[in-house]
Structure 1
Amino acid sequence: MTALYAGFTGWLFESLIQPAMYALGLMDWAEDAYGWLDFGLFGLLTIGVVYAVCRPLEAWRPVEPVAHPRAVRTDMVYTFLARLGILPLLAFVLLASLQSRWEGWLTEAGMLPPTLEELFPALRASPLLALAVYVVVLDFGEYWRHRAQHGLRWWWALHAIHHAQRQMTFWTDDRNHVLDDVLAALWFGGIALLIGVPPGQFPIIVLLLRLGESLSHANVRLSFGRVGERLLVSPRFHRLHHGELSAGATGKNYAVLLPVWDWVFGTADWRRDAYPRTGVPGAAEGLASGGWLRQQWMGLRGMASALRGR
C-alpha cells in the first residue's frame, strides 16, 4: 500500500505539478511542494473514506432532516481546510526534530528512549499488535484532551465553536477553531512521538481515528447495541455529548473512539434511545450559523474574555 501510494504521488508530481512549477519559475519551491502534495493527497483520501462510509448512513436513517444547509456547508469548509492541511501530521513532523535532540541527549547519558517498543519488545515482532496498542494509548490521551477542552474556560471558548452546531452531520467533526486544532495536533503528535509511533504507522492511526470521529458525528439514528456501545463510540453515544444540556464542564461521553474511558472515569451516559437536540444554549447566533471567519473571530474574542476572567 505504501509503495502504491508513493508511486502515485511521484507520478502526479512529475506529470502535472513539476512541469507547471518549471513553467512559472518556481522550481526553488519544488521540494516543499512535494511535501505538501503528500499531505494534501492524504487529506483527500481521509475525506473520501469518511464520505463513502458516513454519507450512505445519513441517507439511510437520519436523526433529523437537514434544515440548515448553510451551516453544513460551513462545516464542509472546516473539513477541507483542516484535512488538506493535516495538522496532526505537520505537528508530528515539526516535533520530530525535538524528539531527535531529546533521544540524542538520553543516548549520551547512557539511557534508551522510553518508547513502548523498548518497554515491551514483543511489539516489535507484531506490527498489528503494536498498531492496536498505539491506537489505545493515543485514544486515552484524546479523552483527557477532550476533558481539558471542556474544563478550562479559555479552551472551552474555542471548543464551543464545535458544540454550537445545531445541524450535526459527519462534516461537524472538523468544525474547530484553528487555534484549537493546533493545540490538539501538538497534543496528539507529542504523545505519538513520546511513545515511539513509527512514521509509517502514524498516518494509518490518524485515518482510523478520523473515521471513528466522523462516524460518531454523523446524522444517523444508529446504536451499536448494549455490548457494542461499550466497545466503540457510536453516533448515538456521541450525540449525547453534543446535546444542549451537556455543554461545557457538565458534559458526558468524552471518548473519541473507545467508550471504556468514560466507563472507567464515570463520565458515561448509556441511554440507548436518546437523540437530543444539539447546540450550546444561549450562544451567540454567529457562533452557530455564522461563516468561517466570523466564528474564528468570535472564538478568539471569547478566549480573550475568559483569560481576563469575564
Structure 2
Amino acid sequence: MNAIADLYAGFTGWLFEHALQPWLYAAGLMDWAEDIYEWLDFALFGLIGIAVVWLVCRPLEAWRPVEPVADRRAIRTDILYTALTRLGLLPLIAFVFLATMQSAWEGWLTENGLLPPTLEELVPALRDHPVLAFTCYVVILDFGEYWRHRAQHRFRWWWALHEIHHAQRQMTFWTDDRNHLLDDVIAALWFGGIALLIGVPPGQFPLVVLLLRLAESLSHANVRLDYGWLGERLLVSPRFHRLHHGVLSAGASGKNYAVLLPVWDWVFGTADFQRKTYLPTGVPEGPEALATGGWLRQQVVGLRRMVAAIRGR
C-alpha cells in the first residue's frame, strides 16, 4: 500500500510540476498553487475511480442487460453528474472543511489532556492487524451510509433532493452519481465526518472510498446479476439494489437501502430477498424534469421542491 501511495504521489507531483506549474507561473497565479495541487490530487483519484468502475461494469452491462438502451441522452446526463462529482471541486471543499474541523477537534482534546477517540485507540489490537482494521472501517462507514440513505427517504425535504437520483428511468452504473449538489455536500460531510471520528488513516481512506464507490456503481448497473441465496445476503447485488429503485419502492416505503452489506437491511427489517424480478425504475408521481431534464434543470427543480417541503407544501 505504501509503494502504491508513493507511486501515485510521485506521478501527481510530476504532472503538477510539468503541466500546471508553468502555466500558473506565467499567469501570475502561484498563490493558488497549493490549492490547485490538492484539486489535481483529488481529480486524478476520481479519474482512477471512474476507470475502475467502467472496466468492471461496462462489460457486465453489455453481457446481460436488464433492458435495452432507449434514452442515451439520460445516460449522458448521468455521465456529466459523474464527471462533476468525481473530478470537480466538491471533494476538495469537503476535504479542506473536514480537515480544518479535525485540527480544531484534536487541538481541543490535546489541550484538555485527551486522546482523539479513534477506533484504534478503543481497540489497540487493530494496530497490529491493518487488514482487520481496514475491514472494520469499511463496515462502520457502510453502516453509517445505510442510515444516511434511510434518512434521505424519511425526511421530505431530503427526499426532494434524493428524488433526482431515483427519477432515472434508464438506470446504468453511471446513475450512482446522479445526485443534487446539496445532497452530495451533505453526503460528503456525513461520510468524511464518520471517517475522521473513527480515525481512518489518510493512506487507507482513498481505498475505502474506491471500494464503496465501486460497490455502489455495480449495484446500479443495467445487468441481470444476482449472487445467489447466500451471496445476496453477504453483498449488495444489482438485482438487490434495482428493487430499491423500482417504481414500487420509491419514497419512504422503500426496501434494500444498504450500499455494500445487506445485513443492515436484514437486521432493521428493510430487506426484500424474495422478489426476483427486475422492476422498471423511476418515480411515477415525480416531475418529468427530474427524469428527462438536463443537469441544471434538475438542480433547480430539486432545490425548489426542497424549499416547498420545508414550508410544508
Query: If the TM-score is normalised by the length of the shorter chain, which range does it land in?
Result: over 0.9
Displacement of 1:112 in angstroms is: 2.0
Structure 1: distance between partners of 2:41 and 2:253: 40
Match of 1:245 among 232, 245, 248: 248
Paired residue type of 1:145: R
Structure 2: distance between partners of 1:100 and 1:14: 29
Report matched runs for 1:21-170 at 5 Å.
21-85=24-88, 87=90, 90-170=93-173
Structure 1: distance between partners of 2:99 and 2:30: 26
Deviations 1:214-243 (A, max 9, x none): 000000000011001011100000000000
TM-score, with structure 2 as normaliser: 0.96
Q: Which residue of 2 aligns with 1:304?
A: 307
Query: After TM superposition, what 4+ stretches of structure 1 lie above 6 angstroms from structure 2?
Result: none
SS in 2 for 1:239: helix
Q: Do structure 1's residue 203 and structure 2's residue 202 form an aligned pair?
A: no
Deviations 1:197-228 (A, max 9, x none): 11111111110000000000000000011001
2:126/2:133 contact within 8 Å kept:
yes
Structure 1: distance between partners of 2:177 and 2:184: 9
Structure 1: distance between partners of 2:222 and 2:89: 24
TM-score, with structure 1 as normaliser: 0.97
Deviations 1:140-191 (A, max 9, x none): 0000000000000000000000000000000000000000000011000011
1:242/1:278 contact within 8 Å kept:
yes
- Aligned residues: percent identity? 77
Q: Do structure 1's residue 233 and structure 2's residue 236 form an aligned pair?
A: yes
SS in 2 for 1:144: helix
Displacement of 1:123 in angstroms is: 0.9
Structure 2: distance between partners of 1:274 and 1:156: 25
Q: Which residue of 1 aligns with 2:10?
A: 7
Match of 1:184 among 169, 187, 209: 187
Aligned residues: 310
Structure 1: distance between partners of 2:159 and 2:300: 15
CA RMSD of aligned residues (A): 1.2
Structure 1: distance between partners of 2:29 and 2:109: 41
Gaps of 5+ in 1: none
1:88/1:189 contact within 8 Å kept:
no
Paired residue type of 2:225: L
Displacement of 1:20 in angstroms is: 2.0
Gaps of 5+ in 2: none
Q: 1:271 to 1:90 in 2, by over 3 A?
A: farther
Q: Which residue of 1 aligns with 2:266?
A: 263
Structure 1 stretch 73-82 or stretch 20-29: which is displaced more? 20-29
1:236/1:272 contact within 8 Å kept:
no
Displacement of 1:90 in angstroms is: 4.2
Q: Which residue of 1 aligns with 2:178?
A: 175
